Amino acid sequence: MSLSSICGYCSPEKAAVTIQRSAAIKIQAMFRGQQSRNKQLRNKQLLEAAESGDINQTKHLITHGADVNATDKHGRTALHEAAYYGNLEIVKALVIAGADINAKDNVGLTPLINATYKGNLEIVEALVNAGADINAKGRYGMTALHWAADNGSEDIVKALVRAGADVNVTDRFGFTALHWAADKGCEDIVKALVIAGADLTDNVGWRIAIKWAKKYGHYDKVKNAIKEGKQKLISLYENQQCQLKTVVNSPIYLQLEDLEEPLLKNEPEKLNETQREQARKYIEKEEQSFPKKFKRLGNIKSLIKNTFGSEKFCKINP
């Protein structure tokens, strides 16, 4: 090929420059392509290291430019893999390196949901402490709390509740964590959820939970758990040196009592109907604002102080 065929009637010098530029462009394109392939390889290796638990390889790849938020064909990041397979040190390294703690895969699962599903308590706690969205919904609209209740993971349920998980959030089927716990006959989890303020006033939802419990032979367990939950509420009040009528008239107790036999049925003088009727009227009057004031009914101290007045009913320090 002659120089004139490249640039017409340009001088040989200009033709040579054109050839050099063209070659440089090709070399740069090849270099960029190789860089891209190298990065893709590092990203793939990072996902593999997170799954296998190779912390040294993970740190090496992060240092050499691997993308901590790269995903596989299922939309999973290295953090998803590490959380699922229980690799705590890798989870910590990825979080420090800037991994998206709330990333969702193709079916909407987050690293926290993965860790919960596999029962990895330490990783659940690490992700929560790092700021993971504990109420994020994944597959079937289920949160980490739903999965923990369904799997019977009592420690994880309690950890999520302590961190502020919404115990009354529903999945796409309209079920709460309480339904799943009742379904599996997880007595301790039912009790923990009741104490944390699980809503027992939803006639449709709660009746479904009871129906499930009966169907799968767990009714007695669930019933006992509810009673123990009531007793725990009372003990919380007693520890605060509250008068017993505060317990009887409290919205929490009324919710529980409407569904099961009164815990104090053998002490009718403590269930004065006038007191209860007054409490019911109060609740009806405040029915619009009450749920907003006390979204989570687990805070007994605030409930007493704000609903009844600490000076009037209880000896609670402000």
* C-beta separation of 43 from 80 below 8 A: no
Ramachandran bin of 182, using left for φ above 0, alpha for ψ from -120 to 50, beta for the remaining angles? alpha
pLDDT tens digits along 4-42: 554 555 666 665 556 666 655 666 656 555 555 677 889
Instruction: Give the integer Cα–Cα distance in Å for 224 and 187.
Output: 8
Query: Residue 278's pLDDT band (boundaries 50, 70, 90)?
Result: very low
Instruction: Give the integer Cα–Cα distance in Å for 194 and 289.
Output: 22
Residue 194's pLDDT is 74
**pTM of the predicted model as reported, rounded to 2 decimal places:** 0.61
Instruction: Give the integer Cα–Cα distance in Å for 73 and 275.
Output: 62
Give the mean model confidence (pLDDT) for residues 225-236: 58
Domain ranges of the chain: 178-318
Query: Residue 56's pLDDT band (boundaries 50, 70, 90)?
Result: very high
